Structure 1
Amino acid sequence: MGVSDFSRSGARRPRWSRLAVRSGVFLIVAGVEVALFLTLSRMGLIEPPLAPPPVVVTLVNPPPVPPPPRVPEPVLEDSPAPADAAPPDTALRVAPPSPPPPPLRPPRLPPPEVETVPIAPSPPALPVLTSSQTAGARTAGRGAGGGAGGAGSGSGAGGSRGGCDMVSRLQDALRGDADVRAAIDAASRQLNASGRAIQVWDGDWLQNGDEAGKGLAGVRQAIAMEVAFAPADCRTEAMRGLVLLTLGDGAGASRIALGAPAWRWSDLLEID
């Protein structure tokens, strides 16, 4: 039987033969690749891989751990030592911990001195005269009258001197001033005068409660202006008792009164 006949008969090579052939082929291919790489590296076409820099490691021995400090046992002074115990070491004694100090408190300050300021009482309101107090008061166009009223009590013996009718002069001036009439009407409503006279001067100008200044607003100035520009003999006319000034013709018209036991018209010009 020939070789061709053996191949056709289906016989196969052994396994070790096949492994040898494969190993030879792998070695040949690897040798060719290594030779090709070395050749290209020599020609400068391929740079060889750089090796990583070396790592320097320094070994240091750690320092020895110191032993823990020796804490002596506390010695209780009050507890009796046993008879067979060794004498205590008096060189070092640990005292029991003292309690913490109490927290500091701020010093108590005396209460501040409060100055007591007395409150001044409010001035009283203007006095409202009754009809009996103004019964004998001097009015416009009349001469002397005998009457008494508040601080202006008197027999009322004073009369007009010549052509001096200061009552009519003042009454006409107050009626012609709308601001003065409004101030007197407001005071009459506030004091509930209801047609009775409000006294504004009794030898001194009076203040109406907490109103700023003495005398009603604008009334004192209007009267002082008329008296200041009156003739000299009229300003020095001697008067006694009350004078009544009416600001309207009706029965409920507002009225003011001024006067003292003995006075002159020039006294109305005195400044406090």
Structure 2
Amino acid sequence: MRRRRRAWLPGVAVSAALHIGLLAAFLTVAPEPTIFSIQSPPEPVIVSLTPPPPPLPVAEPDPPPGPAEPSQAAEPPAPATLAPPTPRPRPPAAPRPPRPAPPEVEPLPVAAAPPGPAPAPPPAGLTQAQLAGAATAGSGSGADGTGTPGGGGGTGSGAGRCDMIRRVQDALRDNPGVVAAATRAHRALPASRRALLVWDGDWVMNPGEEGRGLAGLRQAIAVAIAFAPRECRSQSMRGLVLLTLADGADSPRLALGQSQWRWSDLTGAR
């Protein structure tokens, strides 16, 4: 053991000596202080705003002597002025011929104002005397096959059940438009007229209506006749037929018919 200790003691001593030497060398070397240099600010530049003095005039040499100058300088000649042109005299204008006098025109006669529209004629109406003997609903017109004065006599089988006056009258009463149009036309009748004539072989034109016959009257009668039996449509009639569109003495009444006719004639069928 003593031999081993003696073997490593010299190495330890040498290592310790080296460390101590390095530490002493590090402590002995002092770092140099850092010197910060402070530069002085630049000197200000002085700018002068006053303009520099003008340069001194340089003396020019005297010109060489020349010919004597006249005492007064010659003035430039004045420009020549042009004379204004002389106006030429205009030839005298030729006299205009006198205008001929206008011919005498006879004044036209003032046209008279056109006459106004003629008053509309009253509706076609029938008096009480003209309605004498006219057949009415239920009066036997075609009911018994013989007819009554002014009524039509039935022809053919089934004539006894044809009461075309009542059939057409009921169809017109059920049409408010026809009743209103007939009422207006009936009120326009003169006091002496008792019924409005609407058909006398052709439809009668009444005032205020666009076509022949009252508004809707032709269509209502044509429909009522079209739905009647064939033997009733072809029933022969004579004279006038009176249709009453309401109950009462002042109710509108319509008259239609001629000397010899058939109900189918009102529809245009022959």
Report if TM-score (shorter chain) is over 0.5.
Answer: yes
- 1:145 paired with 2:148, answer yes
1:51-104 per-position Cα deviation (integer Å, ceiling 9, x unaligned): xxxxxx995322134456579xxxxxxxxxxxxxxxxxxxxxx7773126759x
Query: Which residues of structure 1 form unaligned runs of 5+?
Result: 1-38, 45-56, 72-93, 112-118, 148-155
- Taking the aligned partners of 1:137 and 1:268, their CA distance within structure 2 comes to 18
Helix, strand or coil: the match of 1:162? helix
Aligned-pair RMSD on alpha carbons?
3.8
Helix, strand or coil: the match of 1:129? strand
> Paired residue for 1:234, among 232, 251, 256?
232
- Taking the aligned partners of 1:182 and 1:193, their CA distance within structure 2 comes to 19
Helix, strand or coil: the match of 2:213? coil
| Cα pair 2:154 2:160 within 8 Å, conserved | no
Cα pair distance change 1:177/1:132, threshold 3 Å: same
Q: What is aligned with 1:224?
A: 222
Helix, strand or coil: the match of 2:224? helix
- 1:162 paired with 2:175, answer no
| Cα pair 1:195 1:255 within 8 Å, conserved | no
Helix, strand or coil: the match of 2:182? helix
| Cα pair 1:124 1:207 within 8 Å, conserved | no
- Taking the aligned partners of 1:159 and 1:252, their CA distance within structure 2 comes to 31
Amino acid across the alignment from 1:126: P
Q: What is aligned with 1:98?
A: 95
Q: How many residue pairs end up in the alignment?
A: 180
1:115-150 per-position Cα deviation (integer Å, ceiling 9, x unaligned): xxxx99887443211112112011101123324xxx
- Taking the aligned partners of 1:238 and 1:129, their CA distance within structure 2 comes to 23
Q: TM-score, normalization: structure 2?
A: 0.56
> Paired residue for 1:129, among 126, 129, 141?
126
The percent of aligned pairs where both chains have the same amino acid is 48
Larger radius of gyration: 2
Q: TM-score, normalization: structure 1?
A: 0.56
1:220-239 per-position Cα deviation (integer Å, ceiling 9, x unaligned): 11001111121111111111
- Taking the aligned partners of 1:145 and 1:120, their CA distance within structure 2 comes to 45
1:30-62 per-position Cα deviation (integer Å, ceiling 9, x unaligned): xxxxxxxxx942169xxxxxxxxxxxx995322
